[in-house]
Chains A and B, each alone.
Chain A
Amino acid sequence: MPSGSTDATPLLEVRNLTVRYRSRGGIARRHERIDAVNDITLHLPKGATIGLVGESGSGKSTLGKAIVRLERPYGGAVLLDGIDIFTLPERNFRPMRRRLQMIYQDSLASMNPRFTVGETIAEPLVVHRIGRRDQRSERVAELLAGVGLDSSMCDKLVVQLSGGERQRVNIARALASGPEVVIADEPTSSLDVSLQAQVLKLLKERQRQDELSVLFISHDLAVIRSVAATVAVMYLGKLVEVARRDDLFSMPLHPYSRALLLAAPQPDPRAERQRDQAPIPGEIPSPVDPPRGCRFHPRCAMASDICAAVEPQLRQVVPGHWSACHFAEALGSDPATLSFMEDPETGNARPRR
């Protein structure tokens, strides 16, 4: 099973999870069915960080929401400490919410605009009845300090904050109940580079100190690379590759991952000028009617007949490295893949053409 590490019972287990949306249809339209998340299995052990990478339409945000029970699954399960969270009635699940928190991508949309910073961060403490009322302000101040904000912020309304400040409040709130698992959905996407660096550092510290497990969802490979030990790549609802970070970046075994790595621009004018074509042509297909066989095949430079006919399963190609591609082995032994990251002349990272 794709996992954050090779040992131990995972703290969080996503098992064959499918999240399906149906549209009702009508006189002129038929029923449409979209499997935003399609048969995903992933294990997150204690203290591990898994980076979940994907572009729009990959289903990564839906997966994140399903894990915290904001979406109902069509099939499969999400297990926290071996218990399927979807089998519990709300009142039995509530105590588990304290252990399983989410950092939302859109901080403003996930906050009550009438709340102050202090009230926002204290809310989980109130809901889960953590600590006495007098202890809470101390805890809030502690949490604010942890995200680099001054306690004088407490009385400000959240709408008065800048994007970066609000995102930090978002993180403080997620950590307030002392969770064991945090699902971070694009926590740094709206932040400037300098703030991004600070937020990532904070998460890493908390992870180290509190043995926090993090599922870090992002479209940004560079950010994932700096936070995650294991990386999972999603495309159109499916997992296409899962590997340890260094393995994925040095030797991607799926054409989509490889192309994604190639597509990211580098701060290197000479290398960038050499590009003459985009690594991934076209657009992501509609999830209503995904391509037959491998979902990526219409956009894949390596596609052949079998790719259009048979959907490849996610399988372990080399120990610890899974890929859903019929030609994963070929990618592994392709020198173009191996010399992916370094220019022999300058030693700078650059993609091979």
Chain B
Amino acid sequence: MTQPREHDDPALAVRDLRVRFRTGREDVLAVKDVSFTVQPSETLAIVGESGSGKSATCLAIPRLLPGTAEVRGSIRFGGRELLELSQRELRHVRGKEIGLIYQDPMAALNPVRTIGAQISEVVRLHLKMSRRAARERSAELLNAVGVTPARRQLRAYPHEFSGGMRQRVVIAMAIACEPKLVIADEPTTALDVSIQAQILLLLRKLASEQNISLVFVSHDLSVVAGLADKVAVMYAGTLVEYASALELYESPVHPYTRALLAAIPDRDHIPITPRLEQTTRAVNGERSTEGCPFRRRCPSASGQCTKIPELTETAANHFVACWRAEEGGQGGKG
């Protein structure tokens, strides 16, 4: 698999990642040979619809997938191979060097403890701070994420907060130990658009001020446009396009990326790419087909698509897994 050529020392380097879920009845290859890197202070957006494997990919990194998951490949972070670490070693990495933000803030918040106690717990555990220092740090963090007045809010409980405020608290917890990497899985999907705008700006500001590498997973190409330096588009477990944000939005190459961009509704135009209409089940079925998983829904599919295309560089630092792209066929706005 061609590796994207970038600077030598990425903050995160994922190579040939494979995730297989084995349950009694089913055996699903959720992520197939996915490789990408994230440079220090860079934001990578992983974009795909449900069934694309984007969540499995991002949860594989801190090894938070369930026991039924089999993970293969390489995940290098902080000079170490994460897939080789013991659970004990991993516990030190998670929370301290890798921060996590989920879609539902209540997945990370304990409803019966104050938010001050919860943030303090993180810093006391990983940074061995005293109770007083931890409280100071918690107040500092709440200020940084806009939950004010910080001292009063330390004593509040999650249920007293709105969704947006809770997510700010989760962000505070994620950055509490000054991690090098933060993984955010659809962090704004459940929020109102006005609050989403605030949170996206907050994430951008924090990532830049604190030199954090951010992996932002989303189904929405509009949401990541302002944050992403690089975008990886996933379909049925594979990476289909991988490029800088500007390149991707201005010159999308893969038919799926183009269809995703075209499907963003606006004005009278209810965009229908007829073959884009499918269910997750169909996508699962496509995982096991031979050849390009997008073949059946692709408007440009042809005979060669029965062989799976490799990710190849079609323009500087722009990688696409599509036979048509290699021919030099497609470019320009969809």
Measured CB to CB, the residues of A under 8 A from B are 55-56, 148, 162-165, 192-198, 200-201, 204, 219-223, 225-227, 249, 259-260, 263-270, 272-273, 275-281, 283-284, 349
In the complex the two chains form, what is the Cα distance from A267 to B273 in whole Å?
18
Interface string of B220-232 (1 = CB under 8 A from A): 1111011110000
A1 to B163, CA, bound (A): 35
A222-B265, A273-B226 given as contacts; is B276 within 8 A of A263 (CB)?
no
Query: What's the nearest-Cβ distance from chain B to residue A233, in Å?
Result: 12
- Give the residue of B227, B268, B272 whose beta carbon is less than 8 angstroms from that of A197: B272
- Asked if A197 and B271 make an inter-chain contact with CB atoms under 8 angstroms apart, the answer reads yes
Q: How large is the interface on B (under 10, 10 to 19, 20 to 34, 35 or more residues)?
A: 35 or more
- Name the CB-closest residue of A to B231: A269
When the two chains form their complex, are residues A226 and B268 in contact, meaning their CB atoms are under 8 A apart? yes
CB-CB under 8 A for A265 and B50, given A55-B194, A193-B263, A197-B277: no
Q: Check if A272 sits within 8 Å of B226, measured CB to CB.
A: yes
State which of A192, A226, A275 has its C-beta within 8 Å of the C-beta of B201: A275
Residues of A within 8 A of B222 (CB): 264-267
In whole angstroms, how far apart are the Cα atoms of A196 and B276 in the complex? 11
- Within the complex, the shortest CB–CB distance from A230 to chain B, in Å, comes to 14
- Residues of A contacting B49 with CB < 8 Å? 192-194
Having A226-B266, A266-B225, one finds 16 other A-B pairs with CB under 8 Å, namely A192-B49, A192-B50, A194-B277, A197-B263, A197-B271, A222-B266, A225-B265, A226-B270, A259-B194, A260-B193, A263-B197, A264-B193, A269-B245, A280-B197, A283-B162, A283-B164
Question: Lowest 4 A-B CB distances belong to which pairs?
Answer: A272-B226, A55-B192, A280-B194, A194-B276
Which of B72-80, B134-142, B278-286, B323-331 binds A?
B278-286
Q: Does B219 contact A (CB under 8 A)?
A: yes
B210 contacts the other chain (CB 8 A)? no
B132 contact set on A, CB distance < 8 A: none
B residues 219-268 with Cβ under 8 Å of A?
219-223, 225-228, 245-246, 249, 259-261, 263-268
Is B289 interfacial (CB-CB < 8 Å)?
no
Quick one: closest B residue to A261, CB to CB?
Answer: B193
- B276 touching A267, Cβ below 8 Å: no
Type the 1/0 row for B182-208, where 1 means its CB is closer than 8 Å to any CB of A.
000000000011111110110000000
Assembled-state Cα–Cα distance A269/B201 (Å): 13
- Residue pair B225, A267 in contact (C-beta under 8 Å): yes
B42 to chain A, nearest CB (A): 14
In the assembled complex, which residues on chain B have CB atoms less than 8 Å from the CB atom of A193? 49, 219-220, 260, 263-264
CB distance B267 to A267 under 8 Å? no
Within 8 A of A (CB), among B157-199: 162-165, 192-198
Interfacial chain B residues near A275, Cβ < 8 Å: 197, 201, 226
> What's the minimum C-beta distance from A134 to chain B, rounded to whole angstroms?
30
Q: What are the interface flags for B144-166 relative to A under an 8 Å C-beta threshold, 1 for contact and 0 otherwise?
A: 00000000000000000011110
Q: A56 contacts B279, CB within 8 Å?
A: no
Bound complex: CA A226 to CA B246 (Å): 26
Across the interface, do B219 and A269 meet the contact criterion of CB distance under 8 Å? Answer: no
The 8 Å CB contact of A263, one of B196, B228, B260, is B196
Q: Is the CB of B249 within 8 A of A198?
A: no
Could you list some 10 contacts between A and B, CB below 8 A? A55-B193, A148-B277, A194-B276, A195-B279, A197-B265, A197-B273, A263-B196, A269-B228, A278-B198, A280-B198
Residue on A nearest B278 in the bound complex, by CB: A194
Interface check B7, CB cutoff 8 A: no
Contact A263 B193 (CB under 8 A): yes
Name the residue on A nearest B221 (C-beta). Answer: A267
Closest B residue by C-beta to A161: B279
Q: Distance in Å from the Cβ of A295 to the closest Cβ of chain B?
A: 14
A200, B195: Cα distance in complex, Å: 26
B218 to chain A, nearest CB (A): 10
**B272 A198 Cβ-Cβ under 8 A:** yes
- Taking a contact as CB atoms under 8 Å apart, the answer to whether B267 and A226 are in contact is yes
CB distance from A253 to the nearest CB of B (A): 18
Query: Which of B225, B259, B277 is the one whose CB lies under 8 Å from A269?
Result: B225
Least distance between B91 CB and chain A CB atoms (Å)? 34
Q: Is B88 an interface residue when CB atoms closer than 8 A count as contact? A: no
B269 at the interface (CB under 8 A from A): yes
Q: Which residue of B lies closest to A266 (CB)?
A: B222
Who on chain A is nearest to B188 by CB?
A265
CA of A311 to CA of B273 in the docked complex: distance in angstroms? Answer: 46
B294, chain A: closest CB distance, angstroms: 12
What chain B residues lie within 8 Å of A204 (beta carbons)? Answer: 270
| Smallest beta-carbon distance B38→chain A, Å | 17
Contact A265 B272 (CB under 8 A): no
Chain A residues positioned under 8 Å from B192 (CB to CB): 55-56, 219
Contact A227 B197 (CB under 8 A): no
- Output the least CB separation between A87 and chain B (Å): 36
Bound Cα distance from A264 to B200, whole angstroms: 11
Closest to B268 in A: A226
Known: A197-B270, A225-B267. A265 touches B223 (CB 8 A): yes
Q: Which of A56, A267, A281 contacts B249 (CB 8 A)?
A: A267
CA distance A264 to B196 in the complex (A): 9
A265 touches B219 (CB 8 A): no
Contacts A56-B192, A194-B273 hold; do A223 and B265 have CB atoms under 8 A apart? Answer: yes
Cβ contact within 8 Å between B193 and A221: yes
- The docked-state distance in angstroms from the alpha carbon of A271 to that of B201 is 13
Q: Are B193 and A278 in contact (CB under 8 A)?
A: no
Is A56 a contact of B163 with CB atoms below 8 Å?
yes
Contact status B226-A225, CB under 8 Å? no
Decide yes or no: A278 and B277 within 8 Å by CB, A197-B265, A267-B222, A269-B228 being known contacts: no
- Chain A contacts for B245, CB-based, 8 A: 269
**Bound complex: CA A312 to CA B249 (Å):** 42
B280 in contact with A162 (CB, 8 Å): yes
Q: Bound state CA distance, A260 and B221, in angstroms?
A: 19
Query: Contacts A193-B49, A198-B272, A222-B264: A279 and B225 contacting too (C-beta < 8 A)?
Result: no
Q: Which residues of B contact A56 (CB under 8 A)?
A: 162-163, 192
User: Do B201 and A277 have beta carbons less than 8 Å apart?
Assistant: yes
Query: If the complex has contacts A201-B270, A265-B200, are A270 and B193 also in contact, measured as CB distance less than 8 A?
Result: no
Set of chain B residues within 8 Å of A283, measured between Cβ atoms: 162, 164-165, 195
